[in-house]
């Protein structure tokens, strides 16, 4: 109950205070490339229920037809505005709405697409999907340069499935087992600290 109240208050205040930034980003995206401002994608949430996650669009509209669901290095599908939004993580701000509506939490395991969740080991799947997914978590901090890491792999998709995803899952499961409001606040400040660099 305390975590949910914390999420509602913080996400509501965040949306209110950041509304001018959200508006400016939306206008920039619209001027930069054709297509919608928002990107919506099916992700797997708490108890395995799917939901639509919201992000600012950082890729061309036809991106899904041009490559994999993971982003690899200097992906040519990324727009000019998208490069900055991804680097600054501003593309994630619309997820404050997902937190406010109850599909996500500020802190929790990052939600994955169904295709990859189907590959989760049963024991880790049960743990990781027992809580609401979050905007940030320990795995997000440890793998903040994930696309560059995958770009160095001979087979990026295989590297993600066999190396990166299992490591992220272990970190997510460890978070779930030790989660508290105090650890959530620490992770939020750690995330903000990384973004300021």
- Distance, in Å, from the CA atom of 83 to the CA atom of 80, rounded to the nearest integer, reads 5
User: Bridge-partner residues for 105, per DSSP?
Assistant: 134
Provide the whole-model pTM.
0.90
- Distance, in Å, from the CA atom of 133 to the CA atom of 172, rounded to the nearest integer, reads 10
User: Bridge-partner residues for 39, per DSSP?
Assistant: 55
pLDDT band (50, 70, 90) for residue 167 = very high
- The predicted structure's pLDDT at residue 60: 86
- DSSP codes, the chain: -HHHHHHHHHHHHHHHHTHHHHHHHHHHHHHHSSS-SEEEEEEE-GGG-EEEEEEE--B-TTHHHHS-SS--SS-TTB-HHHHHHHHHTGGGTTHHHHHHTTS-EEESPPPB-HHHHTTS-HHHHHHHTTS--EEE-HHHHHTTTHHHHHHTSSSHHHHIIIIIHHHHHHHHHHHHHH--HHHHHHHHHHHHHHHT-
User: Bridge-partner residues for 112, per DSSP?
Assistant: 44
Query: Tokens for 91?
Result: 């593309």
Mean pLDDT of the region 90-108: 97
- CB-CB contact of 163 with 117 (8 Å): no
Mean pLDDT of the chain: 92
Query: How many CB atoms are located within 10 Å of the residue 128 CB?
Result: 29
- Distance, in Å, from the CA atom of 180 to the CA atom of 74, rounded to the nearest integer, reads 37
Mean pLDDT of the region 5-26: 96
* pLDDT value at 66 more than 80: no
123-140 residue pLDDT tens: 999 999 999 999 999 999
The residue count of the chain comes to 197
Residue whose C-alpha is closest to residue 133's, from 82, 169, 85: 169
83 vs 67, higher pLDDT = 83
% of the chain at pLDDT higher than 70: 94
């Amino acid at each position: 109950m305390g975590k949910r109240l914390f999420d509602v208050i913080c996400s509501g205040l965040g949306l209110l205070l950041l509304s001018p930034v959200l508006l400016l980003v939306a206008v920039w995206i619209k001027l930069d490339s054709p297509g919608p401002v928002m990107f919506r994608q099916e992700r797997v949430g708490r108890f395995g229920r799917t939901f639509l996650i919201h992000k600012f669009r950082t890729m061309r509209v036809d991106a899904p037809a041009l490559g994999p669901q993971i982003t690899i290095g200097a992906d040519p599908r990324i727009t000019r505005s998208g490069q900055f939004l991804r680097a600054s993580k501003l593309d994630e701000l619309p997820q404050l709405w997902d937190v406010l509506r109850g599909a996500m939490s500020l802190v929790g395991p990052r939600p994955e697409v169904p295709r990859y969740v189907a590959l989760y080991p049963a024991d880790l799947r049960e743990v990781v999907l027992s809580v609401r997914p979050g905007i940030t978590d320990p795995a997000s901090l440890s793998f903040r340069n994930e696309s560059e890491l995958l770009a160095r792999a001979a087979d990026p998709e295989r590297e993600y499935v066999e190396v990166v995803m299992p490591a992220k899952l272990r970190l997510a499961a460890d978070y779930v087992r030790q989660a508290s409001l105090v650890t959530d606040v620490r992770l939020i400040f750690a995330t903000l600290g990384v973004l300021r660099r």
